[in-house]
Structure 1
């Protein structure tokens, strides 16, 4: 009996020792934050919108509203309560292979960092920042990559919030970032996630029934304004619950672009000769012929991914503010020299929350160049801002590969002429349209469906 008792006590002691020194025991505190045994300090990096995309340049191309990421690097740093003195820095340069998928709220990736020994934080308040970006980025990422731990002395490094990232390209590039406030209590551990969300907007045109006009060569999606630098700040660091679902109070309207140009910009230019064998109208219906004339464009490893007769173009966009009295987005049919043959206004629907919620004083937050402020006026269906982590689309395009959602690339071709129509893949007809309606999507926060006028 005594021998059995001693064996049980020894087993309990060994388990207790193992739990404290070899593994971390997590305890939910009822508020969505986990505390940990033995004073362990753990931060979980979570990047929203996971997936394996095919990159043709820095970042990934925008082919649909699918929630994805292809970043290779995540940098995390911890500051004091004032956000100036950097006490810890961590670089992850192989994010897509070292992180793991997670399903909470969406399809993202996450990695866990444990602070040990000299890296452990003393009791007090801290600010945690993290940025996810691509190799060979078109952004000037000096403000991120040069963040380093503060050293004492005359020339010590001081971190500045609201980092401005100039862009060398004319279109946006996907980048993720987030921030959280961390309170460390004496003698207590913690486990807390920091969620990184997309910092740019997106826009695409997915249309069919293209009017035939002599000399037509391009369909262009153009804007009333353009910003050339991105501001990392005023983060919406929440775990979004669905791709483009709206997420209630978690939806934010933030224009985090700066360094604007006086004129607008082409978001995308669709070369019709890449989609049609010949620009012609032999059947006399005033539309570009599609039967035996659609070029079945091969965008992903030889597989056509679009409905027969359709064309597609899209890009990520640095957010910009609406210009009073000007149409924000316009779709133009042009000649090769840029002469406009026909144009369509691209509007937000009258029930779109970016219009209706702002009537309820949910203003658009924007960067003044020095600080964050709010618009004094509401958005309208014609004149609206392109805001962070919202996708503005003409037509419906939920997946890069609609025949096999979420899997990319697909070993087989989707049906180019589906019957019945695929509700997740439906180009907008331009025939007899005067106005287009935008739709916005996230994990992506919101997917906006746009209207053509």
Structure 2
């Protein structure tokens, strides 16, 4: 598995004071310390490239587990121990002019911020927060965008942790993190913080799709769906493997709330087969939708840099607000439906592999009733499992937006098979295996039933 930094951002800073009470900040990037001019306070905000539905909307679409970021704004603020906001800044056009690439200790984009004059921090205890988000986000971002310095508020303004962001879709990629900071007069320090992806991801990458009269959609449906994201209980560690899951600092957190009411099916992603095939037909009578010349890449008209896929395949995926498993209910199911979406012509259960590390874990959940992180969830099983923060759950294997990165823009033939780009066959399958990837912290492989 190719190792890439996927999920998150790193913010690293240290401050020290000389005998004349002048603050000096040193920024640590993981491989050393960069000294700065005497009397300066500098924070380097680092957003590391992270892992990754096919949808056109505000945030970045999910095409694969490739390390990318397209966020447009990063907001940073610093609070004292009482919750008073002492410093606020917003960086616009982050992915273009607002930051620069870096390759030391990872790869992503970074911005250096210097605290001057009245913005300098006095001795005390602080928390630094940063959130990276899209300019036209699907989230209601007021909990973030309304943060202001205490003295600038209509009354004395204090910041409360655990921001709740309602969302108009199943989810959208967003990054956040926190660093605790103690500034002592005459003493220096250095301490890293990592801002990670705050959502889960789920995709279906399949081939050999059964032909059934009237078939139009492949839908990935879930047992539950949360409609708000909670920013808090951050995992401020620099995870070192793209979905490898071998980092001791991997967390299993459900940071979603405001569950969808009623018994309606919770659809995570929808594949319109008419976009992948010229016609839904079976001229060769093998009981599968004809591929070959009948197949098309629906993104080939997007110009240079469009995603490519193995010929004959279909893909659909989305970022998802994490949710807890529902006892006695299959968590994910892949359904082949008619045009109205009301008749299920064929379905496959999507299971975690029996040896998946998540099945051994106790999941930390946001308790909306008491508005804290007091809920611990156990009883994860292959069929009833939670979708947790910064983990990617995939049917099939797809590590890059380009099926073959060495041949950009070319949709490859099915053979020879590429271990990094391998759609799951639906032919005669009764069980789907789901894979989860989070640096994504972990990549989970899913099984079809």
TM range (shorter): 0.7 to 0.9
Residue 437 (structure 2) aligns with: 441
CA distance in 2, matches of 1:222, 1:153: 44
Instruction: Give the secondary structure class of the aligned counterpart of 1:269.
Output: strand
Residue 329 (structure 1) aligns with: 332
Shift of residue 278, structure 1, vs aligned partner: 1.4
Shift of residue 401, structure 1, vs aligned partner: 0.9
Residue 275 (structure 2) aligns with: 274
Instruction: Give the secondary structure class of the aligned counterpart of 1:354.
Output: helix
Shift of residue 241, structure 1, vs aligned partner: 1.2
Residue 116 (structure 1) aligns with: 116
CA distance in 1, matches of 2:212, 2:189: 65
Residue 254 (structure 1) aligns with: 253
Q: 1:30 to 1:207 in 2, by over 3 A?
A: closer
Instruction: Give the secondary structure class of the aligned counterpart of 1:292.
Output: helix
Q: Which runs of 5+ in 1 are unaligned?
A: 1-19
CA distance in 2, matches of 1:29, 1:71: 21
Instruction: Give the secondary structure class of the aligned counterpart of 1:248.
Output: coil
CA distance in 2, matches of 1:31, 1:208: 44
CA distance in 2, matches of 1:443, 1:52: 9
Q: 1:276 to 1:38 in 2, by over 3 A?
A: same
Q: 1:104 to 1:350 in 2, by over 3 A?
A: farther
Residue 58 (structure 1) aligns with: 58
1:9-24 matched pairs, under 5 angstroms: none
Instruction: Give the secondary structure class of the aligned counterpart of 1:249.
Output: coil
CA distance in 2, matches of 1:335, 1:386: 27
User: Contact (CA 8 Å) 2:27, 2:42: kept in 1 or not?
Assistant: no
Shift of residue 216, structure 1, vs aligned partner: 0.7
User: Contact (CA 8 Å) 1:41, 1:191: kept in 2 or not?
Assistant: no
CA distance in 1, matches of 2:36, 2:257: 42
Q: 1:433 to 1:127 in 2, by over 3 A?
A: same
Shift of residue 432, structure 1, vs aligned partner: 1.0
Residue 17 (structure 2) aligns with: none
Residue 353 (structure 1) aligns with: 357
Residue 312 (structure 1) aligns with: 315
Q: 1:284 to 1:138 in 2, by over 3 A?
A: same
CA distance in 2, matches of 1:32, 1:379: 41
- Give the structure with higher Rg (CA): 1
Residue 13 (structure 1) aligns with: none
User: Contact (CA 8 Å) 2:52, 2:64: kept in 1 or not?
Assistant: no
* Residue deviations 1:366-407 (CA, integer Å, cap 9, x gap): 1111110242423111001101111100000100012227xx
User: Contact (CA 8 Å) 1:39, 1:190: kept in 2 or not?
Assistant: no
Q: 1:231 to 1:298 in 2, by over 3 A?
A: same
Residue 197 (structure 2) aligns with: 198
User: Contact (CA 8 Å) 1:35, 1:191: kept in 2 or not?
Assistant: no
Shift of residue 153, structure 1, vs aligned partner: 9.4
Residue 379 (structure 1) aligns with: 380
Residue 409 (structure 2) aligns with: 413
Shift of residue 95, structure 1, vs aligned partner: 1.1
Shift of residue 151, structure 1, vs aligned partner: 1.6
Instruction: Give the secondary structure class of the aligned counterpart of 2:230.
Output: strand
User: Contact (CA 8 Å) 2:53, 2:62: kept in 1 or not?
Assistant: no
* Residue deviations 1:295-344 (CA, integer Å, cap 9, x gap): 23335624561111100000110011100010000000001122001100
CA RMSD of aligned residues (A): 2.7
Instruction: Give the secondary structure class of the aligned counterpart of 1:217.
Output: strand
Q: Which has the higher helix share?
A: 1
Instruction: Give the secondary structure class of the aligned counterpart of 1:95.
Output: coil
CA distance in 1, matches of 2:174, 2:151: 29
Instruction: Give the secondary structure class of the aligned counterpart of 1:122.
Output: coil
CA distance in 1, matches of 2:146, 2:229: 17
* Residue deviations 1:199-238 (CA, integer Å, cap 9, x gap): 1110000000001111111100000000000000000112
Residue 11 (structure 1) aligns with: none
How many residues in Structure 1 have an aligned counterpart in Structure 2? 419
User: Contact (CA 8 Å) 1:26, 1:37: kept in 2 or not?
Assistant: no
- More divergent stretch after superposition (264-273 vs 55-64): 55-64
Instruction: Give the secondary structure class of the aligned counterpart of 2:149.
Output: coil
Q: 1:415 to 1:115 in 2, by over 3 A?
A: same
Q: Answer yes or no: is 1:220 the counterpart of 2:224.
A: no
Q: 1:113 to 1:194 in 2, by over 3 A?
A: farther
Q: 1:422 to 1:141 in 2, by over 3 A?
A: same
Residue 145 (structure 1) aligns with: 145
User: Contact (CA 8 Å) 1:48, 1:239: kept in 2 or not?
Assistant: no
CA distance in 2, matches of 1:354, 1:51: 19
User: Contact (CA 8 Å) 1:51, 1:108: kept in 2 or not?
Assistant: no
User: Contact (CA 8 Å) 2:227, 2:257: kept in 1 or not?
Assistant: yes
CA distance in 2, matches of 1:230, 1:33: 35
Residue 245 (structure 1) aligns with: 244
Q: 1:230 to 1:33 in 2, by over 3 A?
A: farther
CA distance in 1, matches of 2:430, 2:36: 60
Q: 1:272 to 1:241 in 2, by over 3 A?
A: same
Q: 1:154 to 1:342 in 2, by over 3 A?
A: closer
